[in-house]
């Protein structure tokens, strides 16, 4: 067990050529967040004295993507290999500390696995985390002699016998800082890629008589290195399975655990049920008994207990109280607050509005910048005309009001409590409490009118 101060170094300077993307590899999204931020989160759980991220390719976009995080950043201006990358972080690390090196492109590692490595390593020892891969192609191979690790050979430098080795280097390495500095200074780049390989320090440690522990992890997925879009997609599925698995353990029901995506954090109460093709982004909170039916996108929102979201809704930065019913085909844009027992039906769009208890907006309606009281019924095809071409204005609808179908409410405008608006009206003036407002031209019958007929028929 390591007793020294722990410094973590995360390598994130590489371009990731195999991604074929303008976005630096470590910023490629995994469960809605940059790959690198998963490694940083895992690192923090080990409570190190400091975390240093080595960045380079992509320049300041990498630190900018993790803005607000307490991290030390070391620049590797030219990417000359993983050993060269670690060198950039070392000057600030005291010789008496222990260094844990992690790769920004190995994002699924769990803190428990790293803790186990720290557990078995003595202060003067070195340790690497390895795993047996069904397909070891592309990874560095662990060469052992009489069971002990003697060196690591990269895929491109390996002989055919070495390529047959299935135990691979995960990239995770733990060793005393003072000794590491010494070995890094001696690295050369005489290899297939002309790079300063971090992996070469293993053979140096062995030569110096240092105990090198090759600790084998059991889970291949956790140790996946992500170099291309195919591996990125595999990692995404593995991470989703993990997130959904944790939710199922906590009692959340899923129609199909493979057909849901959590891109952020999803908190669920008791007896929540989630049907297929639900996508959750950002911070989403589902109260007890919430049911999410198929094909829904819910982003940064909170749904109260007992709320049901029917298929095909889009909900963003909104909250509902208890027992609301949304959709099918409803859209809540940012700033919607629904109280309890509110119904929002098909083809209804609501934005920046409050809807009080028991109100219903059931069909084909746009509600924007509006405060709706309790037990209001908004008829089909109602539009709050909130925009005059230059400014937005609010609409207020009092408790118990009844808005007929096809009504235009020209904001700013106020409809009193208990008022009724006749279907088809365009309302521009305040409507007093309990009164009926009608704005329609008188119906006429044009006697003897004939429909036009097609020429020549």
Query: Could you say whether residue 303 binds ligand UD1 (CB under 6 A)?
Result: no
Q: How far is the CB of 224 from Ca ion (least distance, A)?
A: 9
In this structure, are residues 276 and 293 in contact, taking their beta carbons and an 8 Å threshold?
no
Measured CA distances, 409 to 103, 309, 363, 366, 387 (Å): 58, 28, 16, 10, 11
Site for ligand UD1 in 67-126 (CB under 6 A): 76, 79-82, 84-85, 103-106
Residues 143 and 167: their CA atoms lie apart, in Å, by 8
Quick one: DSSP state of residue 312? S
Looking up tokens 């290195």 gives: 225
Compute how many other C-beta atoms are within 10 angstroms of the C-beta atom of residue 418: 16
Q: First vs last Cα of the chain: how many Å apart?
A: 97
Site for ligand UD1 in 6-35 (CB under 6 A): 11-14, 26
Nearer to ligand UD1, 79 or 166 (CB): 79
Nearer to Ca ion, 194 or 389 (CB): 194
Phi, psi of 79 (to 5 degrees): -85, 100
Query: Could you say whether residue 225 binds ligand UD1 (CB under 6 A)?
Result: yes
Residue 408 partner contact from Ca ion, ligand UD1, none using kind-dependent CB cut-offs of 5 to 8 Å: none
In this structure, are residues 415 and 425 in contact, taking their beta carbons and an 8 Å threshold?
no
With CB under 5 A as the rule, give the number of residues binding Ca ion.
3
Cβ neighbours of residue 390 under 8 Å, at least 6 residues apart? Answer: none
Site for Ca ion in 102-131 (CB under 5 A): 105
Region binding Ca ion by CB under 5 A among candidate stretches 23-31, 83-91, 217-225, 346-354 = 217-225
Region binding Ca ion by CB under 5 A among candidate stretches 87-95, 207-215, 218-226, 240-248 = 218-226
Compute how many other C-beta atoms are within 10 angstroms of the C-beta atom of residue 347: 16
Measured CA distances, 414 to 54, 160, 348 (Å): 59, 81, 21
**Which residues carry out catalysis?**
363
Strands 330-332 and 343-351: parallel
Site for ligand UD1 in 153-192 (CB under 6 A): 154, 168-171
Q: How far is the CB of 164 from ligand UD1 (least distance, A)?
A: 16
In this structure, are residues 95 and 178 in contact, taking their beta carbons and an 8 Å threshold?
yes
Query: Could you say whether residue 244 binds ligand UD1 (CB under 6 A)?
Result: no
Nearer to ligand UD1, 82 or 386 (CB): 82
Nearer to ligand UD1, 14 or 404 (CB): 14
Query: Could you say whether residue 214 binds Ca ion (CB under 5 A)?
Result: no
Residue-wise DSSP of 169-214: EEEEEEEEHHHHHHHHHT----STT----GGGHHHHHHHTT--EEE
Among 90, 139, 401, 414, binds ligand UD1 (CB under 6 A): 139
Nearer to ligand UD1, 201 or 266 (CB): 201
Nearer to ligand UD1, 167 or 369 (CB): 167
Residue 183 partner contact from Ca ion, ligand UD1, none using kind-dependent CB cut-offs of 5 to 8 Å: none
Positions that interact with Ca ion (CB under 5 A): 105, 225, 227
Positions that interact with ligand UD1 (CB under 6 A): 11-14, 26, 54, 76, 79-82, 84-85, 103-106, 139-140, 152, 154, 168-171, 197-199, 225, 227
């Amino acid at each position: 067990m390591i007793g020294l101060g722990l410094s973590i170094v995360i390598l994130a300077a590489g371009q990731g050529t195999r991604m074929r993307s303008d976005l630096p590899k470590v910023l490629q999204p995994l469960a809605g967040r940059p790959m690198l931020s998963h490694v940083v989160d895992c690192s923090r759980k080990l409570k190190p004295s400091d975390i240093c991220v080595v960045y380079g390719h992509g320049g300041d976009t990498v630190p900018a993507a993790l803005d607000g995080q307490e991290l030390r950043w070391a620049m590797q201006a030219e990417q000359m290999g993983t050993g060269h990358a670690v060198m950039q972080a070392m000057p600030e690390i005291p010789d008496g500390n222990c260094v844990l090196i992690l790769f920004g492109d190995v994002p699924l590692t769990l803190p428990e696995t790293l803790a186990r490595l720290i557990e078995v390593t003595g202060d003067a020892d070195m340790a690497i985390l390895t795993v047996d891969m069904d397909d070891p192609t592309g990874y560095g191979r662990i060469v052992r002699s009489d069971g002990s690790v003697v060196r690591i050979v990269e895929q491109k430098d390996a002989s055919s016998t070495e390529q047959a080795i299935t135990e691979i280097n995960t990239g995770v390495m733990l060793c005393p800082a003072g000794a590491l500095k010494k070995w890094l200074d001696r690295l050369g780049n005489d290899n297939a890629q002309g790079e300063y390989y971090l992996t070469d320090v293993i053979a140096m440690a062995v030569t110096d008589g240092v105990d090198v522990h090759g600790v084998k992890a059991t889970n291949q997925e956790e140790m996946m290195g992500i170099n291309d879009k195919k591996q990125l997609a595999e990692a995404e599925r593995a991470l989703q399975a993990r997130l959904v698995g944790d939710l199922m353990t906590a009692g959340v029901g899923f129609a199909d655990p493979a057909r849901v995506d959590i891109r952020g954090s999803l908190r669920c109460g008791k007896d929540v049920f989630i049907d297929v093709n639900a996508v959750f982004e950002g911070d989403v909170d589902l109260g007890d008994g919430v049911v999410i039916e198929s094909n829904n996108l819910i982003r940064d929102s909170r749904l109260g207990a007992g709320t049901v979201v029917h298929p095909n809704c889009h909900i963003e930065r909104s909250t509902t109280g208890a027992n609301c019913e949304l959709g099918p085909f409803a859209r809540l844009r940012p700033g919607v607050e629904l109280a309890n027992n509110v119904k929002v039906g098909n083809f209804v769009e609501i934005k920046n509005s409050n809807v009080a208890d028991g109100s219903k907006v059931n069909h084909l309606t746009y509600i924007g910048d509006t405060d709706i009281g309790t037990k209001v019924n908004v008829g089909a095809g109602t539009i709050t005309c909130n925009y005059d071409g230059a400014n937005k204005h609010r609409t207020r609808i009092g408790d118990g009001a009844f808005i007929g179908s096809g009504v235009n409410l020209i904001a700013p405008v106020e409809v009193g409590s208990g008022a009724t608006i006749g279907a088809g009206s365009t309302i521009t003036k305040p409507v007093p409490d309990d009164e009926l407002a009608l704005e329609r031209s008188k119906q006429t019958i044009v006697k003897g009118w004939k429909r036009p007929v097609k020429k020549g028929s």
